[in-house]
Structure 1
Amino acid sequence: MASVHPRKNRDNEVTSYQVKWRDAGRRDGDPLWATEKFDGDEEGAAAAAIFKAAVDEAGQRWPAGWVKGQGYIVAEEAGADDDARYRFRAYATAIVENKTGIEEHYRRACMRELETHIFPTFGECDVRSTAHFSSATVRSWVRRLENTYVAKGRGPRNRKMSPKTIRNLHGLLSSILTEAVEEEPPLRARNPCERTALPRTDDGGSSPDDEDIEFLTPEEVAAIRDRLTLRQDQLMVEVAYGTGARYSELTALAPYLLVDDDPARMRLSIHRAWKRDGAGGYYLGMPKSKRGRRTIRISTSVVEALAELRREQHLADDDLYFTGDQGQRLHASTFADRWARAVKKAKKEGVLPSYKHPTPHDLRHSHAAALISAGHAPTYVQRRLGHESIKTTSDLYGHLLPETDDAAMATIETALAGGRTTLRAV
């Protein structure tokens, strides 16, 4: 409950009244107390009592429409300039542009998503309005996204927007409205996005298609590799499939990152990746996450591929293994175009199913699939791939875990038969 506190001077005279309450709209870890100040006369005391009641009625939150230090302000009194400030386009742009702790390419990506998918619907809406932003309007927007067709890569717009993309867009909208709720005082009482039912990313558990993943068998990987015309591209497929490295990590590899202190247990240090600088360029920086900095064991085939690259290209320790024609960073689209031609040829020759549409990134997924399908622990795969969370690994590849674990089935069968299970020494 809110409470009214008279504030007195040294002469014990009331100079003001302060309404104080624990703000239910604050997040955990933020200061809990909110206050508002009123004059110390009789009118101030009455206003403080009325405001206290309004806070209690609002569930220990700032009353809707109240501006700290000014009182209730309706839209007409706020003026055209204030209205323009709270138009979603202006408000969201300011939030994204002033956000700290993010990379510039992510800031630009957020603005692209806002311009493409959110501003056309909500751009001119008032962020304070419960009519403009309600559960109904957000649901309607999500429904429209579910029926939006997009392209994969440079292909035609013939694929419905994936549930993952819809969730990302909804999350971006929600983050902007959360900022409005957490303004001091709040611009809104609640975030309507919190009540939106979103499409499932696992397609009801039937397939991984919603994640746009294509799992390739070793034979299919070899078929695509053999139809690439450049030897460097063929060796890149070997290393990508053999390590599960992301493209940005793969193209940042150099000979000095090969750890050869034990020839029988060769390892590869992955501690850098190409990053966008926000101005159309790239630089070598940290991988995607802290766990992205990792050192992994590599197989004989990967060791031989790296050795061939260094030998044939006469590489120094800090030279890149994979480069463009002039020794520059190998742009993803350059390799993707050559990969697409190899995929097309493999389909035409009948060595790759026509329904599969793999991208270079699917080599990383296929690396994980090969390990998990053979029974290797998800935790091991998580660390090898550099996933920040085991949940990511489980969500993407959990359905690939072996379905027939003889020891587990024997235990269950014994229990169902009414017998006593035998403890196994570990």
Structure 2
Amino acid sequence: MASVHPRKNRDGEITSYQVKWRNGGGRGGDPQSESFKDETAAEFFKDAVNDAGQHWPPGWVKGRGFIVPGAGADEERYRFRNYAKRAIDHRTGIEERYRGACHGELERWIYPHFGECDVRSTEHFSTDTIRAWVRYLEQAKVFSGQRPKVGEPKWRPMSPKTIRNLHGLLSSILQEAVTAEPPLRGRNPCERTRLPRIDDHGADDDEDIEFLTPQEVAGLRASFTSLQDQLMVDVAYGTGLRYSELTALAPKSLLIEAGMHPRLRVSRAWKRDEEGQYYIGKPKTKRSRRVIRISASVRAALDELQDLGSLGPDDLYFTGDKGQRLHYSTFGNHWHRAIRRAKKAGLLPVYKHPTPHDLRHSHAAALISAGHGPTYVQRRLGHESIKTTSDLYGHLLPEADDDAMETIEAAMAGTRRPRLHAVPDALTG
């Protein structure tokens, strides 16, 4: 079997990865090897060698990758790496931040596998090669956030949602080859791929949602040492806002009108431009731009924040020590320390590992447990599609199931059986 071997310099730093195997797999087979700059590409090539029966994968040229024999300089535009870059660069109607993210995902997860392939080739891009790539993604290990300065990060399987997003990116580029004038391909091989279901992930998946009870939220709040952090928990849990929306709130976002309940206008959110710089813009979708009613506790928290900082209409409620944007990592550090204190004090179960975003999920859970329907929750949270709301929180509707079963049982038992109307003979034939 082929295997991957890190290669180190004199300082012990890994500089490349070498895949080694014996031709044909037997002990007497000639030793073979191929070198790669990153481990992802090496692992993919190792799997390709194993799939080829311990031979060089068909179409692979040593030191170059999958290359169509005889391709001239004019053919370079059909090399997937070049074709995909142009396709993303020329897309319209997308934000520059998203364009940059697409290039990053291509570099990390798609080019190591298909970068040197010919976008026209039915051998390079086939149902089998796409399935092999998806299978590789299912076995890949990833971690969230930045790599810790000490120790190893918490590695987890890639989430089904991420796999679907990567597959969708590849599929969209191959579809452009199908619809090109003239067409470069007859069909899109991604169309026949069976992808992992969103709800197939297990307990270690990075898409996990940790729902907190009101008592757990109160215990967590009490474990913060900063009053601003405590008030931030109040507003986050009381509104269900996303972090980017929450930290863009200003006193002018609070709507106070005679004869009306207090409301919040959610019309701003922190975003990034193509250079990675933060700025305040509109929330990501039309549904995200909304006006929501707030409770007396949230109103009191906002009033206290305004008095605490003597804020003007345009000043932010939540800021860093010097009045700048409150970085997620800064609040995240405070959050993790509060989590440890809450668990130590018995205010939060040791098996729960919530993130700040789980306050949004817990807000939705509180609404649903009180009998509010998915449509109301969708509009309040700013979900673009009710399917998102249903997929995330549909399992939190036991009361709806109970009511439905009581209705059906009562009807079947005859206690409230509806009277059936006679059907005219003309309709029964």
- TM-score, structure 1 as length reference: 0.77
| Map 1:45-56 → 2, pairs under 5 A | none
**Partner letter of residue 200 of structure 2?**
D
Encode CA deviations 1:217-241: one digit per residue, 9 max, x unaligned.
Answer: 1122122222222111111111011
Matched, 1:183 2:180: yes
Which residue in 2 is equivalent to 1:261? 257
Cα offset, 1:395, TM superposition? 1.0
Matched, 1:235 2:235: no
Cα offset, 1:380, TM superposition? 0.6
**Partner letter of residue 111 of structure 2?**
F
Which residue in 1 is equivalent to 2:52? none
Distance in 2 (CA, whole Å) between partners of 1:209 and 1:230 is: 31
- Contact in 2 for aligned 1:203/1:210 (Cα 8 Å): no
- Contact in 2 for aligned 1:258/1:267 (Cα 8 Å): yes
- Contact in 2 for aligned 1:178/1:191 (Cα 8 Å): yes
- Contact in 2 for aligned 1:259/1:268 (Cα 8 Å): yes
Which residue in 2 is equivalent to 1:161? 158
Which residue in 2 is equivalent to 1:392? 388
Distance in 1 (CA, whole Å) between partners of 2:387 and 2:218 is: 30
Distance in 1 (CA, whole Å) between partners of 2:242 and 2:110 is: 30
- Contact in 2 for aligned 1:92/1:176 (Cα 8 Å): yes
> Structure 1 residues 150 and 208, CA, compared in 2 at 3 Å: closer, same or farther?
closer
Gaps of 5+ in 1: 1-74
Which residue in 2 is equivalent to 1:336? 332
**Partner letter of residue 292 of structure 1?**
S
Which residue in 1 is equivalent to 2:82? 90
**Equivalent residue in structure 2 for 1:369, among 351, 359, 365:** 365
Which residue in 2 is equivalent to 1:352? 348
- Contact in 1 for aligned 2:270/2:279 (Cα 8 Å): yes
Which residue in 1 is equivalent to 2:28? none
**Partner letter of residue 181 of structure 1?**
V
Which residue in 2 is equivalent to 1:290? 286
Cα offset, 1:354, TM superposition? 2.4
Which residue in 1 is equivalent to 2:137? 145
Matched, 1:107 2:103: no
> Structure 1 residues 420 and 317, CA, compared in 2 at 3 Å: closer, same or farther?
closer
**Secondary structure at the counterpart of residue 112 of structure 1:** helix
**Partner letter of residue 167 of structure 1?**
R
- Contact in 2 for aligned 1:203/1:209 (Cα 8 Å): no
- Contact in 1 for aligned 2:241/2:360 (Cα 8 Å): yes
Matched, 1:171 2:184: no
Which residue in 2 is equivalent to 1:416? 412
Cα offset, 1:110, TM superposition? 0.9
> Structure 1 residues 209 and 216, CA, compared in 2 at 3 Å: closer, same or farther?
farther
Matched, 1:310 2:306: yes
Which residue in 1 is equivalent to 2:46? none
Distance in 2 (CA, whole Å) between partners of 1:229 and 1:414 is: 53
Which residue in 1 is equivalent to 2:109? 117
**Partner letter of residue 178 of structure 1?**
Q
Which residue in 2 is equivalent to 1:218? 214
Cα offset, 1:407, TM superposition? 4.5
**Secondary structure at the counterpart of residue 280 of structure 2:** strand
**Secondary structure at the counterpart of residue 155 of structure 2:** strand
Q: Which has the larger radius of gyration?
A: 1
**Partner letter of residue 134 of structure 1?**
S
Distance in 2 (CA, whole Å) between partners of 1:410 and 1:222 is: 35
Distance in 1 (CA, whole Å) between partners of 2:242 and 2:258 is: 25
Cα offset, 1:411, TM superposition? 2.2
More moved, 228-237 vs 152-161: 152-161
Distance in 1 (CA, whole Å) between partners of 2:217 and 2:178 is: 50
Encode CA deviations 1:84-133: one digit per residue, 9 max, x unaligned.
Answer: 21111111111111111111111111111111111111111111111111
Gaps of 5+ in 2: 1-67, 420-429
> Structure 1 residues 211 and 76, CA, compared in 2 at 3 Å: closer, same or farther?
closer
Matched, 1:136 2:137: no
Which residue in 2 is equivalent to 1:196? 193
**Partner letter of residue 167 of structure 2?**
H
- Contact in 1 for aligned 2:251/2:313 (Cα 8 Å): yes
Distance in 2 (CA, whole Å) between partners of 1:140 and 1:99 is: 28
Cα offset, 1:264, TM superposition? 6.2
* Identity %, equivalent residues: 67
Cα offset, 1:336, TM superposition? 1.2
- TM-score, structure 2 as length reference: 0.77
How many residues align? The count is: 347
Distance in 1 (CA, whole Å) between partners of 2:188 and 2:296 is: 54
> Structure 1 residues 249 and 421, CA, compared in 2 at 3 Å: closer, same or farther?
same
- Contact in 2 for aligned 1:275/1:284 (Cα 8 Å): yes
Q: Provide the aligned C-alpha RMSD in A.
A: 2.1
**Partner letter of residue 222 of structure 1?**
A
Cα offset, 1:403, TM superposition? 3.8
Encode CA deviations 1:352-395: one digit per residue, 9 max, x unaligned.
Answer: 22222211111111111111122101111111011111111111
**Following superposition, which runs of at least 4 residues in structure 1 exceed 6 angstroms of deviation?**
none
Encode CA deviations 1:157-182: one digit per residue, 9 max, x unaligned.
Answer: 42111111111111111111111111
Distance in 2 (CA, whole Å) between partners of 1:98 and 1:353 is: 50
